[in-house]
Structure 1
Amino acid sequence: MTDSRPVLIVTSLYDPTADVVIGELHGRGVPVVRFDSGDFPASLSVEAEITPDGIQSTITTPSRTADLAAVRALYYRRPSGFAFPHLSEQDTRFAVTQARYGLGGILAALPGCLYVNHPHRVGDAEFKPSGLAAAVGAGFDVPPTLITSSPHAARAFVERHGPVLYKPLSNPVYRVDGVSNVVGVSEVTAGDIDGRVAGTAHLFQQVVKKTADVRVTVIGPATFCVRINSDLLDWRTDYSRLRYTPAPAPPQIELALHAYMDHFGHFFGAYDFAVGPYGQWWFLECNPSGQWYWLEEETGLPTLAAVADLLERTP
């Protein structure tokens, strides 16, 4: 008997990774409803009633209406933010809050739905301090790290653990002459530390003397591990200089990966590690909404099939 329950994919209009997942699911005969929650309420509407039998809700896009109680899985990717350009600043603030807690609350309460990942749990893991603390608890090695707004503490940390990197705790987009820019990872010295540190929170981390980077993608029960060779401090700054080699994760890393996933209740995670000269794997971060498909194109690893299996809920 054909399973007619749809998969919801929540993401922005331009998301090539979502496009290939939708194509794979369509090829398997799995119905898909794609929408951007940022389109609410202009071209997206929702109805939800709290009843003695639970929440009864539907969502309507320009092309179809979906019964949210019948959703088999929700793939939460990268939706855009809510926008109300016709409202005043104060009214916009109110409307955005109502949309977030209204539509967001409905999407977070779907009965019998597999979340990849649950939007609330995504938010939990995106706080770097909690992610690093969870990594230590899961059994990963984490480089000495300081989060501070104290110039004195930052300077002392650099002097004690140098060389040290500065990393943004989050990375909002800066527009310079209309071009999107982000704050990069950079090495700092004690002489670079001044009173500006007191202006907000900063993250400083000891530089790992690495021989390679590793990207590990965990998709449900499957683990895909790729060694990335380059001469870059941050391999994401120039993909043309990267060389990829599939490689298995050490057994203790495999155990820690799933302990970390269990801590946050995730079914997907994109992990970054630095490999030291003696083979030690240093945890750097885990992105609960990270990119992964380009590694299949580079290595042939069957990540797309694994994502589709998970969303289809194939045993």
Structure 2
Amino acid sequence: MSSAARPVLVVAEKLDAAADMVVDQLNQRDVPVMRFDAASFPQHVTLSAEHGHTGPGWGGVIEDEFRTARLEDIRAVYYRRPGRPQIVDTVPEPFRTWAQNQADCALLNVLAALPVRWINNPHLDRIAAHKPQQLVAATRAGLRVPRSLITNDPEAAREFAKRLDGPMISKPVLGGRLPTREGRSLMVATHKVDAADFDDTIGLTAHYFQEDIPKAYEVRLVVVDGNLFAAKLTGTSDKARTDWRTDYEHIDYDTTTVPDHVATAVRRFMASYGIVFGSMDFAVTPDDDWVFFENNPAGTWAWVENHSGLPIAAAHADYLQGANE
């Protein structure tokens, strides 16, 4: 098969603006695409993978009602927050959970074994998402990070506050949303804390405390194959300055240039995980010092391109297409 006819596999939720934008870029380049959500497997997606008949890799077919792709022809995979496989309701428990785990493992690991370009390979993505390890990797790469404490000991939290002798924030160790009784979801945001309020409830679970970095503005830095796209976010309310995700209406959007030493450290950080995409959060202090908070290896970026015009989707398509080879 000619390289032009080799498809890109896009595995993402059905409603995902970033995936839509990448597919549109690939369509403009006449690169064939097969897109599906892992939640459609095994009810609406069929996988037949065989090993040992065409060399060292897996061969076979993945198909749905619209498209078919041969595994050995796939040129790249864009794997972005797909759902988990869904098993029909007629399968009773505990067999339904067992079947879901089987389907999840089979699809994920067959695809992950393909020797192709990935954004990002899910096994590497999972490791790269761990926030405590990110601070170590960022420090080794040469980035400044906030002083931080993870503890379930109230006294340790008080001692940390004394050593900081300044404002503190608390944030989740693990991202995600909480379901509410009303059936909605609640985001646990970064929030300011006062050590005078610390009590024994800190012992109920792990808490993540950090020094509160003074901000001239913040940066959502999107990295695609070494290309850096920096959106400048200036909060115009107390809520937006503490956690801009809580008050989108009070953010001024712009772009900015990444200092050379930060760019070098960011690329070193990405290489340490073996990933090509990341959505990073930085604070820039009034002294123009860049401070790394965290990296989401499957973070959102469609809104960054929409507000800034930065060509992030095109950079994805360049990499997946192999335009630079």
TM over 0.5: yes
Quote the Cα distance in structure 2 between the aligned partners of 1:185 and 1:23: 34
CA deviation after TM superposition for structure 1 residue 123, in Å: 0.3
Q: Which residue matches 2:81? A: 78
CA deviation after TM superposition for structure 1 residue 31, in Å: 0.3
Are positions 1:106 and 2:107 aligned together? no
Distance 1:193 1:90, change over 3 A: farther
With normalisation by structure 1, the TM-score equals 0.94
Q: Is the 8 A contact 2:43 2:88 kept in 1?
A: no
SS in 1 for 2:24: helix
Q: Which residue matches 1:183? A: 188
1:88-121 deviation digits (Å, cap 9, x = unpaired) = 442233223212321111011012x100111011
Match of 2:123 among 112, 115, 120: 120
Quote the Cα distance in structure 1 between the aligned partners of 2:201 and 2:207: 10
Are positions 1:301 and 2:310 aligned together? yes
1:152-203 deviation digits (Å, cap 9, x = unpaired) = 2222212322421111112332222021212111111223322232222221
- Number of residue equivalences: 314
Q: Which amino acid aligns with 1:46?
A: L
Distance 1:22 1:160, change over 3 A: same
Quote the Cα distance in structure 2 between the aligned partners of 1:43 and 1:219: 31
Match of 1:220 among 204, 222, 225: 225
Match of 2:256 among 240, 247, 255: 247
Question: Unaligned stretches of 5+ in structure 1?
Answer: none
Q: Which residue matches 1:51? A: 52
Q: Which residue matches 1:284? A: 293
Match of 1:258 among 242, 263, 267: 267
Question: Unaligned stretches of 5+ in structure 2?
Answer: none
Quote the Cα distance in structure 2 between the aligned partners of 1:84 and 1:172: 24
Q: Which residue matches 1:268? A: 277
Identical residues among aligned pairs (%): 39
With normalisation by structure 2, the TM-score equals 0.92
Quote the Cα distance in structure 1 between the aligned partners of 2:177 and 2:36: 23
SS in 2 for 1:178: coil
Q: Is the 8 A contact 2:39 2:82 kept in 1?
A: yes
Q: Which amino acid aligns with 2:76?
A: A
Q: Which amino acid aligns with 1:76?
A: Y
Quote the Cα distance in structure 1 between the aligned partners of 2:204 and 2:108: 32
Are positions 1:143 and 2:151 aligned together? no
Q: Which amino acid aligns with 1:91?
A: F
1:15-34 equivalent positions in 2, closer than 5 A: 15-34=16-35
SS in 1 for 2:125: helix
Q: Is the 8 A contact 2:43 2:86 kept in 1?
A: no
Segment drifting more, 133-142 vs 291-300:
291-300
Quote the Cα distance in structure 1 between the aligned partners of 2:6 and 2:31: 8
Q: Is the 8 A contact 2:129 2:297 kept in 1?
A: yes
Quote the Cα distance in structure 1 between the aligned partners of 2:121 and 2:245: 26
Quote the Cα distance in structure 1 between the aligned partners of 2:77 and 2:171: 31
SS in 1 for 2:94: helix
CA RMSD of aligned residues (A): 1.7
Match of 2:207 among 196, 202, 211: 202
